[in-house]
Structure 1
Amino acid sequence: MSQDIDDEVVLRGTSSIPLSPDERRRAVALRELFARFWGAATGEPRAVYDTFVSGSPLADGVTFDPVDEADVHGWWVRPKEAGAGRAILFLHGGGYVQGTAAAYRGFVSQVAGRARIAALAIDYPLAPEMTLPAAPNAALAAWDWLVGQGYDRIAVVGDSAGGGLSLVTLANLARRADGPAPVAGVVFSPWTDLTLSGPSMSDPAVQDPLIGREYLQDCSRIYAGALDVGDPLASPLFGDLRGLPPLLIQVGTDERLLDDATRYAARATEAGVPVRLEVWDGLHHVFQFDVAHLDSSRRALDRAAAFLRRAFAS
């Protein structure tokens, strides 16, 4: 990790990060790969999604061990350099209707390996089989399990719907009177508003190649179940954000969830939370997956890792 990245990634403020012409061309070519994949994809939707997200390569020097406990199911992702007592709780995306910890091992290893912190990626209950509050309850159970295993320095990290669930989890933990407090939260393209009220959700200038409004609307409805989609358990944007730990939020300008990220960052800042918001020009939903194709993906993960290391060291 270069010193300039560590110096650049501070705990507060907003950065707008441009693309070079060469990187923009690579991003356009990647969208063509997406179109070919989804155009040719057949089979059960959850299996197809897992195939897509498992394309993020496994990081070197990281081991993987399954966890199958009464209240926690998922995978440990452990870099060789990981120290004792520190962990990342990772919550995966997939619109709350798909995604598995196993499929996310490559992506989680890219985060954990760079940060040099062990990560527990969990499987939480998916809709429509299970609705709220099943997923937040599973996240809290995983947190408690980590604490019971002797981890007292924990960050929560997630992408997309898992980013929203991460923010819900941090808000739930902030209301607790005892136990260790989270050291940080890092969220990639978080889904914070299941009412879909953000301007980017319907902006014709946004050409998100991975998720659309109709998909999100369907996921929102079946995940919320009997709860209103604006309930803070579903939409952390509308919750009490006081007492949250330092946050890093990364989002691309060319995605439906752009305003979910920017509005959440603004509300958290107003609530006194140290927030670092990074808006990456011209990039798509959870572009950090694409470490094999984009320098921007690698840079974004380097910055996220620097943020985490600084938070754990403070």
Structure 2
Amino acid sequence: MRDDTFGPDPAPGTITIPLADDERRREDALRDLFARFWGNATGEPRAVYDTFIAGSPRADGVAFDPVDEAGIRGWWVRPADAAPGQAILFLHGGGYVQGTAAAYRGFVSQIASRAGVAALAIDYPLAPEATLPAAPEAALAAWDWLIGQGYDRIAVVGDSAGGGLSLVTLASLALRASGPAPVAGVVFSPWTDLTLSGPSMNDPSVQDPLIGRAYLQDCARKYAGARDVRHPLASPLLGDLRGLPPLLIQVGTDERLIDDATRYARRAEQAGVAVWLEVWEGLHHVFQLDVAHLDSSRRALDRAAAFLRRASAS
């Protein structure tokens, strides 16, 4: 059943969603699974990461088709009831150093099937082999390709580093004088500040079971290359946020990037952007991936889908 509690017409702002006791027990069990997986993982790090991400199950009634055309590589994720002319451009996470569209197919299908919108998940150049501005340029190229395919109502969606890249992409599109504008942006636990200046980045009380400061610092250095990590292409928090489309940001309280999300939402609001921030108590980084384990994950994706449907219809 779809959870449309986001709508029909909620006002922008921040809401905090509490964690029920039974859900807390499921979250604790899931963290034990994380510890065992990462404690026993062997092999090439990118392959291990893909195995972890691919644990998000594929939704029923969704077709998967590879894309390799005009420099655009990735996967179409198409629900049977996909609305014509509408699309999601999905940008995956992985700290800009790992992750593939193929591994994210299950997660993207959970979003696309709920929203009733076809999604294009792309492979963008990864660091350290490629540095800025390679990934933002790839995202814009995919946007232009979608426009060329006849899609004119497009939302940009991403998680973690892909959430940051989504916000960079939306900021770049806001500067364009012509062509269709994005209808919305949805980001899960976005990495918006590669300077790592958020208070939660150094707060010992933050119990993030998945990512740490040292990992993020290494990823930031590799991704930025010769660029300063303060450049808006690296850290969208530090860029011009005017002109962005409606945004939904979801984040858990138990993650290093919570302040990346809350500070970005605050700056976006100050820039006149309609932004909805959902803070989910007691949950980990990109908890939305765990639809097989958590009711909160399913509810969060239902709410994100309701937001996308409303934005596409307005």
TM-score (norm: length of structure 2): 0.99
Give deviations 1:52-111, integer Å, cap 9, x for gaps: 000000000100000001320000000001011100000000000000000000000000
Matched residue type, 1:56: S
CA contact (8 A) 1:74 1:102 kept: yes
Residue 29 of structure 1 is matched in structure 2 by 29
CA distance in 2, matches of 1:2, 1:141: 33
Partners of 2:9 and 2:123 lie apart in 1 by 30
What does residue 227 of structure 1 align with?
Answer: 227
Residues 9 and 306, structure 1, Cα contact 8 Å, conserved in 2: no
Q: Is the 8 A contact 1:62 1:79 kept in 2?
A: yes
Deviations, residues 247-272 of structure 1 (Å, cap 9, x unaligned) = 00000000000000000000000000
Distance in 2 between the 1:8 and 1:188 partners? 21
Determine the C-alpha separation between the residues in 1 that align with 2:197 and 2:2: 39
Show the counterpart of 2:66. 66
Query: Equivalent residue of 1:102, what SS?
Result: coil
Q: Distance in 2 between matches of 1:2 and 1:83?
A: 17
1:222 Cα shift? 0.6
Q: What is the identity, as a one-letter code, of the residue corresponding to 1:148?
A: G
Work out the CA distance in 1 between the residues paired with 2:91 and 2:205. Answer: 30
Local SS of the residue matching 2:229: coil
Aligned residue in 2 for 1:144: 144
**Residues 172 and 6 of structure 1: is their aligned pair in 2 closer, same or farther, counting only changes over 3 Å?**
same
Aligned residue in 1 for 2:19: 19
Distance 1:11 1:247, change over 3 A: farther
Across the aligned residues of Structure 1 and Structure 2, the Cα RMSD in angstroms comes to: 1.0
**Partner residue of 1:216?**
216
Q: CA deviation at 1:172?
A: 0.1
Alignment partner of 1:264 is 2:268? no
* Alpha-carbon distance between aligned partners in 1 of 2:9 and 2:71, rounded to the nearest angstrom: 35
- Return the alpha-carbon distance in structure 2 between the equivalents of residues 283 and 241 of structure 1: 27
1:109 aligns with 2:128: no
Distance 1:45 1:9, change over 3 A: farther
CA shift at 1:238, angstroms?
0.3
Q: What is residue 198 of structure 1 aligned with on the other side?
A: 198
Query: How far apart are 1:10 and its partner, in Å?
Result: 2.5
1:257-300 deviations in Å (ceiling 9; x for gaps): 00000000000000000000000001000000000000000000
Q: CA deviation at 1:158?
A: 0.0
Matching residue's letter, 1:202: N
Which residue is equivalent to 1:301?
301
Contact kept? 1:248, 1:275, Cα under 8 Å: yes
Contact 2:7 2:307 survives alignment (8 Å): no
Q: Secondary structure at the match of 1:251?
A: strand
Is the contact between residue 11 and residue 246 of structure 1 (CA under 8 Å) also seen in structure 2?
A: no
Q: What amino acid maps onto 1:294 in structure 2?
A: L
2: CA distance, partners of 1:230 / 1:3: 38
Give distance in 2, aligned partners of 1:154 and 1:243: 16
Match of 2:168 in 1: 168
State the secondary structure of the residue aligned to 1:68.
strand
Tell me which amino acid in the other structure corresponds to 1:98.
Q
Once the 2 structures are TM-superposed, how far is the Cα of residue 11 of structure 1 from its aligned partner? 5.2
Q: Give, as a single letter, the amino acid of the residue that structure 1 aligns with 2:7.
A: D
Q: CA deviation at 1:2?
A: 5.1
Matched to 1:201, the amino acid is M
Compared with structure 1, are the counterparts of its residues 299 and 92 closer, same or farther at alpha carbon in structure 2 (3 Å cutoff)? same
- How far residue 6 of structure 1 moved from its aligned partner, in angstroms, is 4.4
- Output the CA distance in 2 between the equivalents of 1:95 and 1:101: 14
Structure 2 match to 1:86? 86
Report deviation, 1:212. 0.3
SS of equivalent to 1:136? helix
**What is the total number of aligned residue pairs between the two structures?**
314
The aligned runs of 1:279-298 (5 Å cut-off) are: 279-298=279-298
Separation (CA, whole Å) in 2 of partners of 1:152 and 1:10 = 25
Question: Equivalents in 1 of 2:11, 2:49: separation in Å?
Answer: 33
- Amino acid of the structure 1 residue aligned with 2:12: R
Distance between the aligned counterparts of 1:275 and 1:144, measured in 2?
A: 25
| Percent identity between the two aligned chains | 82
Aligned residue identity for 1:179: G
Q: CA deviation at 1:226?
A: 0.7
Where structure 1 has 5 or more consecutive residues not aligned to the other structure, the ranges are none
CA contact (8 A) 1:9 1:307 kept: no
